[in-house]
Amino acid sequence: MREYQRAYLAHLAEIVELNDLYGHMPESGAAFLSWRRENSLRIREIVGENNAMLREKLFPVLDDIASADQEEIAALEEFALQLGAGGANQPDLTLNYTICCALITYARKWGRRDMLIRQLYRAGLALFYMQEILDRCGQARYRWKMGLLFGEAASFIKRYDDIKDVETRGYIHRSMGNLSLAYSGANREDAVKKLDAVRRSLQILNDPVYQKKTPELPWELYIYVSHQERSSALNVLRAGIQDPVVLREVMESAQFVREYQERDCAKRGVKPMVRWSLAYEAAQYHCGVQPLGRLLRWLEEAYTGRDPRDYSENGIYANISLPGLYSDYISRDEEFKVKKKDIVLHMYRQVARYVREAPEDQARGLLTKYLLLFLESYVEYPDGILEKDFLLQIVVSRQPDAYVRFYLAARITRLMAARALKECPQTLVGVLGCESVRQVRERQEEILQFAYDSGLFHDIGVLAFNDMLVKLGRSWLEEEREMYGCHVYAGEFYLGRSPSTRPYVKAALGHHAWYDGSGGYPAEYRREEDPGRAVTDMVSIAAFITQATDDTDPKNPRPLSLEQAVEMVRAQSGARFSPDAVGLLEGLEDVWEAGRAAAYEKAYRILKS
Amino acid sequence: MVQKPLEAVWGLTDQPVLALEPRDGSCRVLYQNAAASALCPEYENPLEAMLDPERQALLDALGSGENTGPLFCHLAKSVYAARIIGWNGYRMCLLQEASAYYNATQSALNEAIMASQAKTSFLSEISHDIRTPMGAIMGLTQIALSQPELPPRVKECLGKIQVASNHMMSLLNEVLDMSRIESGRVVIQPAPVSVADLLHEILIVARPQADAGELTFRLEMGPVVWERILADGVRVKQIYLNLLSNAVKYTPAGGEVDLYFSVQPDPREGWVRMVVRVKDTGIGMGSEFMSRLFTPFEREEKSTVSRIQGTGLGLTITKNLVEVMGGSIAVESRSGEGSCFTVEIPFETAPQDDAGALEALGGQRVLLLDSDPKESGLIREMLSSLRMESDWARDADNAVLLLNDADLSGDPYFAFLTAERVPGVEMMLFLSEIRQRMGEDFPILLLSENDWSQTEYMFTQAGVDGFIPLPLFRSRLAAGLRACTGPGLPGAAWEEPAMTPDLSAKRLLLVEDNELNREIALELLGGCGVRIETAENGREAVRKFQQSAPGYYDLIFMDIQMPLMNGLEATRAIRALGRADAKSVPIVAMTANAFVEDVQNSLQAGMNAHIAKPLDMQKVFETMERFLGRDAG
């Protein structure tokens, strides 16, 4: 690797360290604020240095990749490999993908077939992880591209005999297996496609002709991983789709994986991974072999046997996914839902604690992934832990600086709503179903609370990008900016499920939409259809101001002062922002600095609890 | 027995009276009084003395019981008015001498007919005569507008002259058309026509009109059971374009114009019915006006109508043409709620030669990407009728899956057929990735309803090999796919001529008697660098051709109406010359007589094509490209 490449990787590791809360908590909220500021200053420095390095050293090479010499290409390959190391915890997913694409261009240009296959595989894998983030937002932007990359690499199976390199042959098989990764939706169509892809891959992996041709390859492992992938189609069964082919093949693979695990773990003297044991148990239930009660008992036992300080993949699965799946299964039966309430609430408290104490280490990507999957099946009891409170705890634990932004946005929104109630209550007609000014006045306390909570939860979708954001050590690439735009869908998704969070869906979806429709996103938000648009308009302004002034956010290269931000809002009145809402922007100074300190204090208290 | 009671009453009158009994399309005379017998003593009864048409009219009236209007019969040297009445169960024919009345009315009728003929003739002549100077006005305006750095005011005035003269020319054409219809000179000349081309030519005119009127234009395709018909393409287009331009004219901005097009089976073997519906959301028509809708020069008196230019002849011409072709036209409309015209015309089918396509494409498998299930279904049916197999992907993910599957299973697709827009994917990016994935030799064809010349560069850069226009016809689909079966990449499914071809190595002979027209043509044609020689009449043209070396002229533009020798005679003379290039030199008619008969006449005289005056430079260049462009430059 080149020197700048090593320095870049070292910088990324430092950023992870700087963002690690666990074990670094200062003694007070004020100290916490200054600690975060110091860290963010350092992160900002790093980002500046990284940007300069990439601009001077990397981007010129990528721009003219065809002319790069062998040594440069080898260094790039190694650099990309390091950037993409660690699966979901890749240090720099998007840069890895960008370099892989450049290397594909190079390999095509110079007819480097082995390299082409390798890079197609790696680019496909990078896209898989990028798509995994977008899956949280209900978007499928990278699926077809992933399919093309893996498909092209797999298509070299037709020239298998011409390819002598064992590693390259391995990439062909892995690419063929990975074609199934493009289909992760919990629907019958995706399940069928996934199973088709796995079946074709297994057919070749089990073919003795291929095994004989390349005996050096870990065939057994490949077959095992293929079965693991097929048993992950269990999510389709959980979604209630009872397809006999899916049932049979999932059951078959779950059995295979279980037996393999038992043999392998016995050999290595370790416990089997709970995920695959669960796959077997769940498949038994879905196939009608065992009742729901037995599966729930198995889950309770497995959960009790977890290590609450284990942050390995198996540990994260046991501590976060088991409660999630437990919630999912009890939701199928009202009786269980009532009977198991205490267990569920206990599990939720434990999950919150587990997440709060999680180190910012290699497991952060997996933690986010499983945490977000857990949220998908959150069961809200009216007298239990409301999802809105749980979400806030998660935000504080994973992104305390984002929480501060949310808190400030909430206070600004409430301030604006209070002014609107006093000066122009007619603009609030429609909010919370109020049909007249009289009703608005009668429900002003509720409206103020609604405004506050809308500000507080408007950007909850950024949770989907947590692992991408906390390790970001450079300015955004275009790809990332586009991906990040999907956080509004994630917000809509997370808030749309529980009664306590549902009222804030429109603010989450619409806070980047422009007042006059001439810009912003997403197209799915139509202001005229939002009865609470007066509040969403206020949230848009609050979100802009808090984001533009946030000096702890490294992706905000030139933070503005409050005055500058307000000036920009006024300048865009009538286009981006509602003139009515802009007219309410007075007295922000009162909530500003004090509000920030109070927010850090609050975050600190939650983190210490 | 019968005669007694009749004679008792009718025998007393000196008015000729007959009692008649209808019988098998004829009739029997039961009784005639003395006055009737005296009318034509040489005949048994007056009926026998009548002229055939007059007797038939009388019999028709007798059949129906009584006549509603006067029936005139020429008997001896007089004219009688015949009247049928019922009396005591008999049908009585009362004859009344009416020679004076008849002669007076007949003379007035003849005068009216002659006046009408004179009017028609006058309109026709004057219209024809006005067309020539109008051509000059339009041509010169075009030249003036193409001059650089025109003062804005002058440019504005010229623009208005252009608009007004275009309008005047269309009025003249309508008047001429109507006069031809009235005089029975409209001749329908069926020739094999491609239904796809016909619709395409209608759409390229109608769509921009609707766009200019800020209207939503929608095309709904019905079944097309046969794609080549024997039809007079120009007249058929005239019918549909007239209805469409009316729909556009009478629909305010923001409205909708829907065109339904189908070619349906006809009970007769070897015939089909073209059923076309033009529906709009425009101002509609009141029921009172509907009854006069197809009457010449009729326009509804509404404030919304009076602002719109028109002669009131369009629908009359349309109806006449439809009826001449053996079809029917129906209309539904309500004031303020839009109108819907439905035209059904039967056409004889022309042979479709698709044996080559079936042979080349049969058994091949295509992947179709199109998010619209209905449209996909129709396309797949067409593919099936070409004996091709197809798989359907409704989104990009599915397309990639199927491409991968086919490739990995060793049975790759023959071609990839894709819609221009698919939800959730940026098509340029997607297609370029498909090109990378599938390699250079894999045909990718784009189904496009837009003017592809606008997007051709971008899509070919993205890896698209060819374009197949929508609405889709089996013949076009076959042509697009067949292009993929030849060696190398298929290229565009059809080629659009360049705006100004470089023809500097070519020489043409321009034959035109009018000096002004010659000047205009020289200036307009000169733009593409072609060398031009001129002749002032047909005789000079023949002489110049005779005196030139073989192959000297690459093209001849020939006016038709010229002194000494007209264009048709000159063409026949050139074609009759004994030299090799006399048969092959392209001769293109260039005349203001832009009617179908003129086109047919010029083709029969040996010409290759026809361009109407005033010259539309796009058409001129297309024609030049067609005859000169193949090896130009």
pLDDT digits (tens, 9 = 90+) for B491-546: 333 333 334 556 777 888 999 887 777 777 777 777 667 888 999 999 999 999 99
Neighbour-count burial for B122-151, b at 16+ CB within 10 Å, e otherwise: ebbeebbebbbebbbbbbbbbeeeeeeeee
How large is the average pLDDT for residues B311-340? 82
Contact B503, B629 (CB under 8 A): yes
Chain B contacts to A (CB-CB under 8 A)? 395-397, 399-401, 403-405, 407-410, 424-425, 430, 433-434, 436-437
Choose among B396, B408, B433: nearest Cβ to A155: B408
Q: Are residues B433 and B471 in the same domain?
A: yes
B394 min Cα distance to partner chain A (Å): 12
Would residue A51 count as lying in a domain?
no
Residue B218 sits at φ, ψ, to 5 deg, of -125, 140
Q: Quick one: DSSP state of residue A517?
A: S
Q: What is the pLDDT of residue A304?
A: 93
> Which residues have CB under 8 Å from B517's CB, separation 6+?
B135, B136, B139, B559, B613
Contact A131, A139 (CB under 8 A): no
- In chain B, whose CA is at the least distance from the CA of A173? B408
Q: Does A173 touch chain B (CB under 8 A)?
A: no
User: CB B401 to CB A193 under 8 A?
Assistant: yes
Q: How confident is the model at residue B632 (pLDDT cuts 50, 70, 90)?
A: very low
Max Cα–Cα distance, chain B, nearest Å: 109
Residue B259 sits at φ, ψ, to 5 deg, of -115, 125
**What separation in angstroms does the CA of B609 have from each of A30, A173, B197, B504, B576?**
90, 63, 17, 22, 18
For chain B, the domain total comes to 5
For A149, half-sphere exposure in the C-beta direction (CA atoms, 13 angstrom radius) is 28
Identity of the residue numbered A594: A
Q: What is the pLDDT of residue B488?
A: 40
Contact A154, A148 (CB under 8 A): no
User: CB B407 to CB A147 under 8 A?
Assistant: no
User: CB A148 to CB B433 under 8 A?
Assistant: yes
Would residue A16 count as lying in a domain?
no
For this complex, say whether ipTM is above 0.90: no
The strand pairing partners of A469, in sequence order, are none
Contact B524, B575 (CB under 8 A): no
* Residue from B192, B202, B225, B276 nearest B474 by CA: B225
Distance in angstroms (rounded) separating the CA atoms of residues A415 and A566: 14
Q: pLDDT higher for A484 or A240?
A: A484
Looking at the predicted structure, is the pLDDT value of residue B296 above 90?
no
Q: Which helix (H) or strand (E) holds B19?
A: strand B17-23
Contact A471, A19 (CB under 8 A): yes
User: CB A148 to CB B425 under 8 A?
Assistant: no
How large is the average pLDDT for residues A553-581? 89
- In chain A, whose CA is at the least distance from the CA of B437? A152
Q: What is the pLDDT of residue A63?
A: 85
User: CB A152 to CB B437 under 8 A?
Assistant: yes
Would residue B210 count as lying in a domain?
yes
**Over B436-493, what HEC string results?**
HHHCCCCCEEEEECCCHHHCHHHHHHCCCCEEEECCCCHHHHHHHHHHHHCCCCCCCC
Q: Which candidate in B418, B426, B437 is best for mutational testing of the A interface (most A CBs within 10 A)?
A: B437
Q: How far apart are the first and last CA of chain A?
A: 44
Looking at the predicted structure, is the pLDDT value of residue B487 above 60?
no
Distance in angstroms (rounded) separating the CA atoms of residues B512 and B527: 19
Q: Give the pairing type, strands B339-349 and B228-231.
A: antiparallel
Q: Which two tokens stand for residue B394?
A: 């409704």
Q: Are residues B395 and B361 in the same domain?
A: yes
Q: Quick one: DSSP state of residue A560?
A: P
Q: Are residues B425 and B335 in the same domain?
A: no
Distance in angstroms (rounded) separating the CA atoms of residues B122 and B128: 10
Q: Are residues B156 and B51 in the same domain?
A: no
Choose among A143, A155, A197: nearest Cβ to B407: A155
Report CA A452 to chain centroid distance, whole Å.
25
A152 min Cα distance to partner chain B (Å): 6
User: CB B434 to CB A176 under 8 A?
Assistant: no
Q: Which helix (H) or strand (E) holds B166?
A: helix B152-182
pLDDT digits (tens, 9 = 90+) for B595-627: 555 677 788 888 888 776 666 666 677 777 777
CATH code of residue B479: 3.40.50.2300
Contact A402, A551 (CB under 8 A): no
Q: Crossing angle, helix A3-18 and helix A70-83, to 10 degrees?
A: 10
Q: Are residues B200 and B334 in the same domain?
A: yes
Q: What is the pLDDT of residue B515?
A: 76
Q: What is the pLDDT of residue B631?
A: 44
pLDDT digits (tens, 9 = 90+) for A577-596: 999 999 998 888 877 878 88
Distance in angstroms (rounded) separating the CA atoms of residues A310 and A317: 10
- Residue B119 belongs to domain spanning: 103-182
Q: Give the pairing type, strands B328-333 and B339-349.
A: antiparallel
Q: How many CB pairs under 8 A join A and B?
A: 53
Helices and strands, counts by H and E, chain A: 32, 0
CATH code of residue B150: 1.10.287.130
Looking at the predicted structure, is the pLDDT value of residue B300 above 70?
no
Q: Which candidate in A97, A148, A160, A179 is best for mutational testing of the B interface (most B CBs within 10 A)?
A: A148
Q: Is A354 exposed, middle or buried (0-12, 13-18, 19+ CB in 10 A)?
A: buried
Distance in angstroms (rounded) separating the CA atoms of residues B329 and B320: 10
Would residue B205 count as lying in a domain?
yes
- Residue A574 belongs to domain spanning: 399-608
Single residue among B39, B70, B97 that ends a domain in this structure = B97
* Residue from A216, A299, A300, A288 nearest A248 by CA: A288
Q: Are residues B32 and B159 in the same domain?
A: no
CATH code of residue B292: 3.30.565.10
Would residue A378 count as lying in a domain?
no
Contact B622, B491 (CB under 8 A): no
Q: Does A200 touch chain B (CB under 8 A)?
A: yes
Q: Are residues B177 and B195 in the same domain?
A: no
Distance in angstroms (rounded) separating the CA atoms of residues A140 and A118: 24
Would residue B491 count as lying in a domain?
no
Lowest-confidence pick of A481-495, B282-296, B582-596: B282-296
Neighbour-count burial for A58-94, b at 16+ CB within 10 Å, e otherwise: beebbeebeebeeeebebbbebbebbbeeebbbbbbb
Choose among B396, B408, B433: nearest Cβ to A154: B408
Indicate the SS3 state at residue B341.
strand
* Residue from B381, B408, B380, B407 nearest B393 by CA: B380
Distance in angstroms (rounded) separating the CA atoms of residues B16 and B29: 13
CATH code of residue B87: 3.30.450.20
Choose among A140, A143, A179: nearest Cβ to B404: A179
Report CA B410 to chain centroid distance, whole Å.
51
Q: Which candidate in B392, B394, B398, B401 is best for mutational testing of the A interface (most A CBs within 10 A)?
A: B401
Distance in angstroms (rounded) separating the CA atoms of residues A377 and A35: 35
User: CB B436 to CB A148 under 8 A?
Assistant: yes
Distance in angstroms (rounded) separating the CA atoms of residues A490 and A369: 13
Q: Give the pairing type, strands B555-558 and B444-448.
A: unpaired
Residue identified by tokens 């239930």 is: A285
Q: Which long-range contacts (CB under 8 A, 24 or more apart) does A568-575 make?
A: A568/A544, A569/A541, A569/A544, A569/A545, A574/A515, A574/A516, A575/A514, A575/A515, A575/A516, A575/A518, A575/A519
> A115-124, A226-235, B87-96, B586-595 — which one is most confidently predicted on average?
A115-124
Q: Are residues B93 and B110 in the same domain?
A: no
Would residue B502 count as lying in a domain?
no
Would residue B501 count as lying in a domain?
no
> Which residues have CB under 8 Å from A256's CB, separation 6+?
A224, A227
Q: Which two tokens stand for residue B160?
A: 């208005």
Q: What is the pLDDT of residue B82?
A: 87
Residue identified by tokens 């050590």 is: A473
Preceding peptide of B614 cis, ω within 30°? yes
Tell me the Cα Rg of chain A.
26
Neighbour-count burial for B372-397, b at 16+ CB within 10 Å, e otherwise: eeebbebbbebbeebebebbbbbbbb
A61 min Cα distance to partner chain B (Å): 22
- In chain B, whose CA is at the least distance from the CA of A109? B436
pLDDT digits (tens, 9 = 90+) for B98-153: 888 888 888 887 787 777 666 666 666 666 677 777 778 888 888 888 777 788 77
Single residue among B120, B152, B182 that ends a domain in this structure = B182
Q: How far apart are the first and last CA of chain B?
A: 100
Would residue B466 count as lying in a domain?
yes
Would residue B500 count as lying in a domain?
no
User: CB A143 to CB B397 under 8 A?
Assistant: yes
Looking at the predicted structure, is the pLDDT value of residue A445 above 80?
yes
Q: Please name the residue ranges forming H helices in B183-284.
A: 195-212, 233-249
pLDDT digits (tens, 9 = 90+) for A263-322: 988 988 888 888 888 888 998 898 888 899 999 999 999 999 999 999 888 899 999 999
pLDDT digits (tens, 9 = 90+) for A375-419: 888 998 888 888 888 888 888 887 888 888 999 999 999 999 999
Would residue A420 count as lying in a domain?
yes
Lowest-confidence pick of A20-24, A518-522, B252-256, B409-413: A20-24
CATH code of residue A465: 1.10.3210.10
Q: Are residues B343 and B397 in the same domain?
A: no
Q: Are residues B87 and B107 in the same domain?
A: no
Max Cα–Cα distance, chain A, nearest Å: 83
Identity of the residue numbered A530: D
Q: Are residues B243 and B142 in the same domain?
A: no
**Over B258-314, what HEC string results?**
EEEEEEEECCCCCEEEEEEEEEECCCCCCHHHHCCCCCCCCCCCCHHHHCCCCCCCH
Q: Are residues B199 and B320 in the same domain?
A: yes
For chain A, the domain total comes to 1
> Which residues have CB under 8 Å from B148's CB, separation 6+?
none
Contact B206, B248 (CB under 8 A): yes
Q: How confident is the model at residue B385 (pLDDT cuts 50, 70, 90)?
A: confident
Q: Does A155 touch chain B (CB under 8 A)?
A: yes
Cβ neighbours of B156 (radius 10 Å): 11
- In chain B, whose CA is at the least distance from the CA of A179? B401
